[in-house]
Amino acid sequence: MKAKIESANATAVQRVLASKPHLVDVKPAIEVLPGMNKRSIFHAGPPIKWGSMCGPMKGAVVANIIFEGWASSWDGAVKLVEEGEVELSPNHDHEAVGPMAGVISPSLPVVVVKNEKFGNVNYGRVVEQKVQFGAFDEEAIQSLQFWKKVLAPALAKALGRLRSSGSIGIDLKSIMARALYMGDELHNRPSAGTALFALSILPSLIESGEDKERLSQIVRYFSGNEIFFLCLAMAACKATMNAAKDVEYSTLVTVMARNGVDFGIKVSGLGNQWFTGPAGMVKGLYFPGYGTQDANPDMGDSAITETTGVGAFALANSPAILSLVGGTAEDAFNYTKQMREITTTLNDTFLVPILDFEGTATGIDIRKVVKTGILPVIDTAIAHKDPGIGMIGAGMVNPPMEAFKSALREFASKYKV
């Protein structure tokens, strides 16, 4: 049995390493997300009912309902949800990911990423700094409208021009690898990734015939939103990890995601089943005037980055991020090294210069997590527990051991271990 598991894990992790995620399009969610209908709202993390949702996720759901025009106020939006007029479902169950609350509604644009090696297509919610943290005011709604009316159509046109010239899209894995060399860890700090992406897309944006004013808006958006590349990194990681799912006998983790109440994982050899435990409180640094009493528990699909071997698994590459999440350079180095104890291999593309250019730890194994007691490490933003306030800090967090133990019990039962 051990040989079967090791062989299965080798197959699964090889799919991770061989994956080639490319950005190919930007589309309204309803046109591409499987299972989305005209009154669907998809969200971060494992499944959760409206009544159990945390404050910032409720705020994001309300914001998207107002954005869609289904209601014009908090009360009107809540009434729709409580009357069952809105279908709520996890992003990961529909081939997608989203940061923080991660809420995706039908007309919201999503980035379309194709794994050119294995053919699977996955999707990422756009990044902005308002709605994903639970804001639902007019300014927050306008941030979604900008994506819908300005940024998404322009990016789609530029990507279409690339495809018409024979390109298969923008190679996200290559950008991620280069960004790691430039101080990113690709979760809380995707600054270099944003710059590299802008350099990749700008020629096609210019050649696609965008008028001067709109082009200026887009360039200003890139220059003022260093977090932009996160949505592309997340979608690339989702497309990478989806290639490793459904490998019989594999104990590799393919999903880690949080909804602000529960933390859930999925395992390659256990199909689409969620294994959950309570979402933890993030330990880190707070903005002035805020503290632990204001914080919501861990939230977002962005832990797909750590699942793939970047994010906090690559923290040794990004000492600059410590000014946001807390800790020392030695801590960052130790996090990156310790993750090797619970993973299957070292990445052959995502490299760590300070470790003599060895790869990041890749392929979380539920057996090793339970045996060693070492939990994956995640760096993440902290949202205020109440809707409408937003990001109040950032720090480090771990998943609940309960999720890994329950997954291992199910694995033992399914495969008669």
- What CATH number does residue 337 fall under? 3.90.1700.10
> In the chain, pLDDT over 90 holds for what percent of residues?
93
The confidence band for 343, taking pLDDT boundaries of 50, 70 and 90, is: very high
Is the pLDDT score of 348 beyond 90?
Answer: yes
Q: Which residue matches tokens 């014009």?
A: 72
Tell me what pLDDT residue 30 has. Answer: 98
Tell me what pLDDT residue 150 has. Answer: 95
Write down which residue in 234, 266, 287 finishes a domain. 234
Region 221-248 average pLDDT: 97
Q: What is the spatial distance between Cα 360 and Cα 351, in angstroms, rounded to a whole number?
A: 6
Q: What is the spatial distance between Cα 211 and Cα 205, in angstroms, rounded to a whole number?
A: 10
Tell me what pLDDT residue 165 has. Answer: 86
Asked if 116 and 211 sit in the same domain, the reply is yes
Q: What backbone phi and psi angles, to 5 degrees, belong to 396? A: -120, 150
Domain span holding position 273:
245-414
Region 225-251 average pLDDT: 98
Least confident of 34-38, 108-112, 157-161, 323-327: 323-327
The mean predicted confidence, pLDDT, of the chain is 97
Asked if 139 and 192 sit in the same domain, the reply is yes
Tell me what pLDDT residue 212 has. Answer: 87
Tell me what pLDDT residue 357 has. Answer: 96
Alpha helices in 69-119 (DSSP H): 74-82
**14 falls within a domain:** no
Asked if 258 and 405 sit in the same domain, the reply is yes
CB 107 within 8 A of CB 68: yes
Asked if 170 and 283 sit in the same domain, the reply is no
Q: What is the pTM of this model?
A: 0.97
Give how many domains the chain has, as a whole number: 2
Tell me what pLDDT residue 211 has. Answer: 86
User: In whole angstroms, how far apart are CA 28 and each of 144, 234, 317?
Assistant: 12, 18, 35
CB 255 within 8 A of CB 246: no
Q: What is the spatial distance between Cα 323 and Cα 133, in angstroms, rounded to a whole number?
A: 21
Beta bridge partners of 382: 393
Asked if 112 and 204 sit in the same domain, the reply is yes
Region 73-97 average pLDDT: 98
The whole-angstrom distance between residue 60's C-alpha and the CA centroid of its chain comes to: 16
The confidence band for 323, taking pLDDT boundaries of 50, 70 and 90, is: confident
pLDDT tens by residue, 296-308: 999 999 999 999 9
Is the pLDDT score of 324 beyond 90?
Answer: no
Tell me what pLDDT residue 417 has. Answer: 85
The confidence band for 414, taking pLDDT boundaries of 50, 70 and 90, is: very high
Tell me what pLDDT residue 209 has. Answer: 86
Asked if 112 and 205 sit in the same domain, the reply is yes
Asked if 315 and 215 sit in the same domain, the reply is no
Asked if 291 and 166 sit in the same domain, the reply is no
**13 falls within a domain:** no
Tell me what pLDDT residue 18 has. Answer: 99
Nearest to 163 by CA among 119, 218, 112, 221: 112
**11 falls within a domain:** no
